[in-house]
């Protein structure tokens, strides 16, 4: 049994080596280099902002695996971010506060239960080696009826993406993220969407789900 399966019995649904990576060296070293770049093009960034607007992400929002920019077209009332590079996080002008943390080492989010109206993860779900633990934590910190939105494209750092991600096409990757939601207690049925079909830009895919509302 691999380490991931030992931590979470649901992980046995995934084949051996699914959550391994080509580069298993310390992620903190990889992300110690400042990367003040965007990892998707302007058209895909616009599609992320449009999704956030449609989902009504205007309240108290947590952006995990974040960087120097969060792709909201309208700044939420309060934005908390967590990621791997302190310089990048400090430069995020939308953020009200930030915390450095490696979710692959410790998936626990340093926030009280039911703190956020929404959580976002933009172009980073493919790097999570303990995604079910992270999704469980996200469900914990969300308020009833809160939404967790994962967006991704066809770009990544291939040496740091999990092997299961690299072995699948874009349809398969959407199914992977949807399965994370299905295996996490507290979330309703996930929605999968190709947000910019036919656009002459990077493709933008989204998978999201909400926690149960009070009285549901």
Provide the CATH number for the domain around residue 63.
Answer: 3.40.50.150
According to the model, what pLDDT value does residue 122 have?
96
Does residue 216 form part of some domain?
no
Specify the number of domains making up the chain.
Answer: 1
In a domain, 133, yes or no: yes
3-state secondary structure of 70: coil
**Domain assignment of residue 144, yes or no:** yes
Is residue 7's pLDDT more than 50?
A: no
Q: Average pLDDT of 129-144?
A: 98
d(CA 210, CA 104): 23
pLDDT for 29 equals 64
pLDDT of 35-76, one tens digit each?
545 678 999 999 999 999 999 999 999 999 999 999 999 999
- Which range among 4-8, 54-58, 119-123, 168-172 shows the weakest confidence by mean pLDDT? 4-8
Least reliable range by pLDDT among 24-28, 100-104, 123-127, 170-174: 24-28
The pLDDT value recorded for residue 3 is 41
Confidence (pLDDT) at 32: 56
Q: Provide the domain limits for residue 113.
A: 3-37+45-70+84-210
The number of beta carbons lying within 10 Å of the beta carbon of residue 126 is 25
The pTM of the whole model exceeds 0.75: yes
Which band of pLDDT confidence, cut at 50, 70 and 90, is reported for residue 8? very low
> 195: pLDDT confidence band, cut at 50, 70 and 90?
very high
pLDDT > 70 fraction of the chain, expressed in percent and rounded? 88
Confidence at residue 96, expressed as pLDDT on a 0 to 100 scale: 97
- Check pLDDT > 70 for residue 163: yes
Q: What is the pLDDT of residue 73?
A: 94
- Answer whether residue 4 shows pLDDT above 50: no
DSSP 127-180: G-SSHHHHHHHHHHHEEEEEEEEEEE-S---TTTS-HHHHTS-HHHHHHHHHHH
C-alpha distance across the termini of the chain, in Å: 37
Domain for residue 76, yes or no?
A: no
User: 116-122 and 205-210: which strand pairing?
Assistant: unpaired
């Amino acid at each position: 049994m691999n380490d991931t399966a030992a931590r979470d019995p649901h992980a046995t649904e995934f084949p051996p080596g699914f959550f391994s990576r080509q580069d298993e060296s310390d992620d903190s070293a990889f992300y110690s280099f400042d990367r003040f770049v965007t990892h998707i093009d302007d058209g895909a960034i616009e599609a992320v902002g449009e999704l956030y607007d449609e989902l009504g992400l205007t309240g108290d929002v947590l952006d995990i695996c974040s960087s120097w920019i969060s792709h909201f077209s309208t700044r939420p009332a309060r934005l908390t971010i967590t990621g791997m590079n302190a310089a990048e996080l400090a430069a995020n002008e939308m953020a009200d506060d930030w915390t450095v943390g490696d979710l692959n080492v410790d998936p626990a989010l340093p926030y009280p239960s039911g703190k956020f109206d929404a959580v976002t993860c933009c172009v980073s779900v493919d790097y999570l080696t303990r995604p079910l633990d992270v999704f469980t934590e996200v469900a914990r910190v969300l308020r009833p009826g809160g939404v967790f939105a994962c967006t991704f494209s066809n770009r990544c750092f291939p040496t740091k993406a999990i092997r299961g991600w690299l072995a699948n096409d874009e349809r398969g990757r959407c199914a992977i993220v949807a399965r994370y939601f299905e295996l996490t207690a507290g979330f309703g049925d996930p929605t999968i969407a190709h947000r910019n079909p036919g656009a002459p830009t990077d493709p933008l895919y989204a998978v999201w789900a909400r926690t149960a509302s009070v009285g549901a």
